[in-house]
Chains A and B, each alone.
Chain A
């Protein structure tokens, strides 16, 4: 029940959500809602772990996980962008498909052996920073540091670069972008791929670094869905996504730790004495997601900010009355 440890672990486990959320931000910014995150994460976790076990190289596993996530996302891209199907149903089917395929190929994988983990280390000087140093820079996985790096880069890319400008335009007003020669279809395919690769990375972050192994559907345990919810809370902004992801990570750790001590705030700890109450603790991340959604949409209503204007709508070119 040491708050520093909880926060430190929160950053570690939150990195999974961070990757998945960032990926979904990219896809949604281009106007494609992808509800297949859970399926893509599972595939990433399965393929990454599988490759790492077979080759002994976790780095290769990481790359394969990203590729697999990106490739499977292209099914959703094809169905929703080219075939103009409903993005909600298409994304759902991707989750079913991804879950199914990862279960089939992951058969027996949980007993397949152990892997060498991706390295974790401390950053020499930065660990000295009081409080923050221990939370952020002490004995963290390399993927956590990757998260620190990618988040500002993602923000900069979306808001301050030419491709980012194009990305936003495609998600807000595709026909305007098209009229100026931006390939809307290609752009959307690309960012759906990016979203898939990030989801794959998120999945592999679990199976290769944070809680290594393959535990079928329990590997992700609905984090893909939480990521979709976090995107709304984050209002499509990478930094807000980062805050949200780490908060969720901390919550997960808190749930584990709160069952340890016999006394809590000077009272007998009910979670210690009645382990079944732990089931209520398990509900917390999901209940918290719902609360976050309520807060997020109230704020959005007050500030009148919305999702990317073209989110969820297929772009049909050459339609009459353009």
Chain B
């Protein structure tokens, strides 16, 4: 029979699956279990594909686990990888909350990195500047450039109803070309495809900087960016769930017509949310360039963190606090992924995870029952 919510089985099979819309909200643990189930299903599917291309899925996964959590050293590296993802995930979660599909976190991240670099390379500040001035100015520059890159799709959406998915994505490509121009053409160090290294005062402090007093920290590269990211996540949580503006954002996200009816200026909020989103991604770019790379260079900056952030935000159900944990897991995947062959595997697994997650949401809205054919009641 042809009810949409039912999936037909073959004629003779005595049982069939029946889906009923849920009339209540499922408990929190169910939602969490479903997320984990979806990730496990994704890993299994990924494993099958890995086996198909001739690699060993068990070895691959064991390698990922060992290479990312196996020792305090690699754990620190995992956290380093998690930091930029956390920022882009936070950027996406604030925009997605308003159903603004900002796919441009990648470009905003790049522009943030560029802005921070410009402070050193232009130079806006002399190389002898103290860290206490350098770091805040670079943060400000990163935030401003990221916000500007978020402002463009925001204003286009608010003024001309231009689809923000495509405009923000196009800006990613433009940002890469922009960065390339400066890296290759203006700030190139001796013709290489990178800028000169920043002075040490323009570096974010790392754990290894305290290695003299705390021996455990020796050689650990986890940097201040992580702490900033966690702090931002907590603030963002308060903004979304406890502030007036957060309430407006949630209202617009769920039903823009109702928000308009409640007297909320949607256009203004679209622009503001996109700018905040861009600012967070830009701050991430600044953190990466001053905490890890210490110079402007295309490939480590445009490494796809903006896209991973989309998946992380979705997996965290747009909750900034949960995003912290999920970022660490994805940091592990990216870290270990560098050594995995074929090199596309981490990207593919990310894709499969997102597919499984979206598919699993169905079970939050529908109850599945196995019923005997003819006894659907």
Chain A residues within 8 Å of B, Cβ to Cβ: 35, 39, 75, 78-79, 82-86, 88-90, 92-108, 185, 221-222, 225-226, 228-229, 232, 274, 276-277, 279-280, 282-283, 286-287, 289-290, 293-294, 297-298, 301, 315-318
Contacts and interface: CB of A to CB of B under 8 A. Distances in A.
A286 B169 CA distance: 9
A97 B342 contact: no
Interface string B298-313: 0000000001001100
A295 to B, nearest CB: 9
Contact of A89 (B307, B314, B351, B352): B314
Contacts of A108: 342
A294 B156 contact: yes
A43 B184 CA distance: 31
B355 A75 contact: yes
A101 B351 contact: yes
Interface stretch (B172-180, B242-250, B275-283, B289-297): B172-180
B348 interface: yes
B344 A96 contact: no
Interface string B145-167: 00000000000100011110111
B348 A104 contact: yes
A276 to B, nearest CB: 3
B162 A290 contact: yes
A50 B355 CA distance: 25
Contacts of B310: 92
A232 B156 CA distance: 15
A102 B345 CA distance: 10
Contact of B163 (A75, A232, A301): A232
Nearest to A315: B4
Interface residues of B, number: 52
Nearest to A230: B166
Given A107-B343, A225-B170, A293 B163 contact: yes
Contact of B342 (A39, A107, A287): A107
Contact of A104 (B156, B173, B345, B357): B345
Given A85-B359, A294-B162, A316 B4 contact: yes
A100 B349 contact: yes
B354 A279 contact: no
A44 B334 CA distance: 26
Contact of B173 (A95, A98, A185, A286): A286
Contacts of B170: 222, 225-226, 229, 286-287, 289-290
A283 B355 contact: no
B184 A279 contact: yes
B185 interface: yes
A209 B258 CA distance: 51
Contact of B166 (A97, A100, A229, A276): A229
B342 A104 contact: yes
A290 B156 contact: yes
B257 interface: no
B314 A100 contact: no
B160 A297 contact: yes
A99 B283 CA distance: 27
B348 A103 contact: yes
B265 interface: no
Contacts of B186: 276
Contacts of A78: 359
Given A106-B344, A276-B184, A35 B165 contact: yes
A279 B186 CA distance: 12
Given A286-B173, A290-B156, A279 B348 contact: no
Given A96-B307, A317-B4, A279 B185 contact: yes
A103 B342 contact: yes
A258 B5 CA distance: 57
B53 A96 contact: no
Contacts of A293: 156, 160, 162-163, 166-167
B339 interface: no
Nearest to A76: B355
B39 interface: no
Across the A-B interface, give the 7 residue pairs with the lowest CB-CB distance, nearest first.
A103-B344, A100-B348, A276-B185, A97-B351, A96-B351, A107-B342, A317-B4
10 contacts: A96-B307, A100-B345, A102-B344, A274-B185, A276-B181, A276-B185, A279-B181, A286-B171, A290-B156, A293-B166
B209 to A, nearest CB: 36
A54 to B, nearest CB: 15
A313 B325 CA distance: 32
B34 to A, nearest CB: 13
Contacts of A86: 358
A107 to B, nearest CB: 3
B365 to A, nearest CB: 8
Interface centre among A226, A228, A286, A293 (most CB of B within 10 A): A286
A86 B180 CA distance: 35
B144 interface: no
A95 B174 CA distance: 20
Contacts of B181: 276-277, 279-280
B355 A297 contact: no
A86 B362 CA distance: 10
B344 A107 contact: yes
Given A85-B359, A92-B354, 13 more contacts: A85-B358, A96-B307, A103-B343, A103-B344, A103-B348, A104-B50, A276-B184, A279-B177, A279-B178, A280-B181, A290-B167, A290-B171, A293-B166
Contacts of A283: 173-174, 177-178
Contacts of B163: 229, 232, 293, 297
B358 A90 contact: yes
A84 B5 CA distance: 10
Contacts of B166: 225, 228-229, 232, 289-290, 293
A100 B7 CA distance: 30
Contacts of A297: 160-163
Contact of B4 (A94, A228, A298, A318): A318
